[in-house]
Amino acid sequence: LPAARSALAEAPAAAALDGAMDTVLTVRSADASDRFLGSAFLWGEEAEVAVTNAHVVGEAEEVRLVDRHGNEETGLVIARDTLRDVAVISVGPGKDGKPRRGLVPAADPAGLGLEVFALGAPLGVEFTLTEGLISAEARQVDIAVPILMLQHDAAVNPGSSGGPLVDAAGRLVGMNSQIADGSRMFVGIAYAIPAGDLDRIVTGLIEETLAPFPQLGLKARPVDRKVGAMLGLDPQGLLVDGTVKGGLAEAA
C-alpha cells in the first residue's frame, strides 16, 4: 500500500514536469554557424513570446529556437535588459495555428527547502531535468543589481542559462541564470531570477514600461573583518574600490 500510494503521488508530478518540458526551447544562432547558445521557455497561458537570459542571445537580433519534438522556428529578439539579464523573443503559434501554452509564474514565492527542478540544455545536452532544493531565498549576487536571487542545488551548467526552474506541479519558480561566482561548472550552488521579479521585468519589457536601471559606475564590496583589519575600520559598511570615469558615482 505505501508503494502504491507513492506511485500515485508521483504520477501527477511526472505529468506536470513532462508538460513543463514541452515549453522548453534550445536557443541557437540563426546564422550558418548554428552555434548552441543556451535555453529558453515559452511564457504565459497563451505564449506569444519566449524568455531567456540576455547573455544567452547577446547582441543577436534573431535566434533559432528548437523544441523537444524537433520543431524549429526563427524568433526575433524584441527586448532585452542586459543589467537584469532578461531577454524576450517573439514566437509563432503551434501547428494548429493557436498560441502554445507556456509557463505561468507560481502564485506564491519559493520557500526554503522547496523541491525544484531545473529544465534546459546543460552543456548542450538538450531537454535535461535535474532536481534540487531551494537553499536560500534571497541572495544579492551582484552588488550593482538589486535582484535577490533564488539559490538552489539542482544541477545546472553552461547551457542551462535561460531555462526554467519549476516546482513539482510544473509551476514557474524562476529562471536559471548563474552558477556560483568563480565556477565555470556546477559546484552545488546555482542562482535563478525569482518568478515574481521575472514577471515584472518581462511585462515591463513587452509593454516598454520598464525603467532602465541606473548604472552607478562603481566597484564596491562589503567591509568584512579581513578588509576592516587591513584598513583599521570596523567590519561594517561598503568599500568603494573605484569609479567609472564620467559615471554617477564619480560625479557624486
Alpha-carbon distance of 167 to 170, in angstroms, equals 5
Alpha-carbon distance of 16 to 22, in angstroms, equals 10
The DSSP symbol for 122 reads: G
Give the pLDDT confidence of 151-184 residue by residue, as tens digits: 999 999 999 999 999 999 999 999 999 998 767 8
**Quick one: which H or E segment has residue 199?**
helix 195-207
Q: What percent of the chain has pLDDT over 70?
A: 95
Q: What is the mean pLDDT of the segment spanning 227-246?
A: 86
Residue 8 pLDDT: 43
Coil/strand/helix, residue 197:
helix
The DSSP symbol for 230 reads: H
Residue 2 pLDDT: 61
Q: What is the mean pLDDT of the segment spanning 230-242?
A: 85
Coil/strand/helix, residue 124:
helix
Residue 182 pLDDT: 67
Confidence of residue 1 (pLDDT cuts 50, 70, 90): low
Q: What percent of the chain has pLDDT over 90?
A: 67
Catalytic residue annotation:
55, 85, 161
Could you tell me how many residues make up the chain?
Answer: 252
Alpha-carbon distance of 106 to 172, in angstroms, equals 5
Give the pLDDT confidence of 62-115 residue by residue, as tens digits: 999 999 999 999 999 999 999 999 999 999 998 888 999 999 999 888 999 999
Alpha-carbon distance of 76 to 42, in angstroms, equals 14
Q: Nearest 5°: CA angle at 162, between 12 and 196?
A: 70
